[in-house]
A and B are shown apart, each in its own frame.
Chain A
């Protein structure tokens, strides 16, 4: 059984169709990526899963239970977290405070502490800078903080919205190697990227989203070698 199953999801923003009935699934321990151009509906998909935008029709099930219509809090409580686009760290709070907010729904102090240690292991840089205001961290560090903050909720499924946005190639490489490590630790990853090249190399499977519809699907390798993908997303000239 798949961990996350999305059936005919349709979302409209005041008459404009953002998602026109998409269906896909994410199995446990997978890295799945949705790639597509600007305005294809990638972020909308994640926001709909989190219950942050109302959906028109369709269903979202997690572990076989329907989760559409639930409050965001409940969805986070079930183990799905979102690393929002553009990092969105709490700029005037310290790194440590940011991380603690990630564990907001957690009540067990010992578990919070052990999650914190795990995050510090993954991102030693965050430990060094735990007292620093998040707004003064570099872009890459802020992205690490955003991911670390999401991991503090001890998620089963982590969804990332454009983790490579605005980062230097070396930093992107580092972030993606961390994504693989998170996945190896047992967390399922749903990844949204414009940077199709890295995303497909990292992911087990990929879906291509075009103006609200899924037009192609396959394993990461298959999509990488597909001529149409190469032309449209990987910058190969005709």
Chain B
């Protein structure tokens, strides 16, 4: 039927996107803002989709994303800071000797490992977060709804407090944070330039999550979200599936945290406060709880309007010699909040609800409008 047309449309739009990214790679100067917005959206899209897996598809209201992101970010950052820069980064209390030894050891491994080193760092950070999620999940996943939210919120704050504690100065540099983190690496021997890397990683991870959602596991997640008692009576093990969802969500959140460290080049514990979780929750809710494409779309719209499109409101505005009041730094956030309220009022269940993006829907709406015009 329409499947061939849809495949073609998807390929064309993917090609356009890839084309845009490569074009940006060759025209970096002057497009800094667009590049940085797109990269940040790609990273937040991954966190939002992983949060959606937990909150939207499994029905577990968890607010621990920032905590898991910080684990990924710190592990990635510590592993990636070049040994020669260590003195400068840990200028206050010095680096813990074991970290230096470990990094020197990793640096002495063969060249094929060195080319994969940044990805190794990302995956190691994500795996540590997944292990912590598995352990904590045993206790936390017995809780339901709001109580689970409070427990995971607490967990996230505990992780942040540990990272910024003076006892860990030699590892995390305490409250000073880490800097001199190298940016995104190239992929596939330079075939993918460093500018495009976060998009590739994010796309691969989101595809893996979508594959999980479409598997029989995903169907069990949905059943748990809909009705725990009925799901259990069907023979679906609640604890096993909730754990799997929690661990995988934490893994990808941490991986995105690692990407965020590469993106920002410097991190501190404060970056990963509750506010970050709320930003992501906002993206998930605006996009539609239970819609992957909604989360991806919303992460771009929210990031772009917050940091780019609404900048205009922060500058003083001069209308024919009349200085419009209100237009000063910070006004943008007021407008942003009003926009959010409007969006939530119009789209009660987020931009996409629980639906996924489909060409049929878009073209269908286009056709209907055309027909309506023709009739009138």
Contacts and interface: CB of A to CB of B under 8 A. Distances in A.
B229 interface: yes
B230 interface: yes
B216 A104 contact: yes
Contact of A90 (B216, B222, B354): B222
Interface string A169-200: 00000000000000000000000000000000
Interface string B215-236: 0100110110011011111111
Interface size bucket, A side? 20 to 34
B232 A52 contact: yes
Nearest to A103: B234
A97 B214 CA distance: 12
A77 B234 CA distance: 10
Given A52-B229, A52-B233, A88-B230, 13 more contacts: A72-B232, A72-B235, A73-B236, A84-B230, A90-B227, A90-B230, A92-B222, A101-B231, A101-B234, A102-B234, A104-B216, A104-B219, A153-B235
A91 interface: yes
B229 A92 contact: no
Interface in A73-108: 73, 75-77, 81-82, 84, 88-93, 97, 100-102, 104-105
B237 interface: yes
Contacts of B234: 76, 81, 101-102, 104-105, 149, 153
Contacts of B235: 72-73, 75-77, 104-105, 153
Taking chain B's interface residues, is the majority helix, strand, or loop, or is none over half, making it mixed? helix
A158 to B, nearest CB: 11
A71 interface: yes
Contact of A84 (B220, B229, B354): B229
B230 A89 contact: yes
Q: Which 6 A-B pairs have the closest CB atoms?
A: A76-B235, A90-B226, A88-B230, A105-B235, A82-B233, A73-B235
Contacts of B222: 90, 92-93, 97
A89 B233 CA distance: 11
B354 A101 contact: no
Interface string A10-26: 00000000000000000
A104 B233 contact: no
Contacts of B236: 73, 101, 104
A88 B216 CA distance: 20
Nearest to A50: B233
Interface of B: 216, 219-220, 222-223, 226-227, 229-237, 354
Contacts of B233: 50, 52, 72, 76, 81-82, 84, 88
A175 B167 CA distance: 68
26 contacts: A72-B233, A72-B237, A75-B235, A76-B234, A81-B233, A84-B229, A84-B233, A88-B227, A88-B229, A89-B227, A90-B226, A91-B226, A91-B227, A92-B354, A93-B222, A93-B226, A97-B219, A97-B222, A101-B219, A101-B220, A101-B234, A104-B220, A104-B234, A105-B235, A149-B234, A153-B234
Contact of A101 (B223, B229, B237): B223
Contacts of A97: 219, 222
A59 to B, nearest CB: 21
Contacts of A82: 233
Contacts of B230: 84, 88-90
A198 B234 CA distance: 27
Given A71-B237, A73-B237, A104-B216, A90 B232 contact: no
B217 to A, nearest CB: 10
A71 B354 CA distance: 32
A50 B230 CA distance: 12
B142 to A, nearest CB: 15
Interface string A51-83: 010000000000000000001110111000110
Interface string A99-138: 0111011000000000000000000000000000000000
A206 B290 CA distance: 45
A93 B354 CA distance: 11
Scoring B222, B226, B236, B354 by chain A CB atoms within 10 A of each residue's CB, the highest score goes to B226
Contacts of A73: 235-237
A82 to B, nearest CB: 5
A159 to B, nearest CB: 9
Contacts of A72: 232-233, 235, 237
A58 to B, nearest CB: 21
A84 B227 CA distance: 11
A93 B227 CA distance: 11
Contacts of A84: 229-230, 233
A89 B230 CA distance: 7
A90 B223 contact: yes
A84 B232 CA distance: 10
A36 to B, nearest CB: 21
A71 B232 CA distance: 10
Contacts of A104: 216, 219-220, 223, 234-236
A50 B222 CA distance: 22
A93 B232 CA distance: 16
A98 to B, nearest CB: 9
Contacts of B227: 88-91
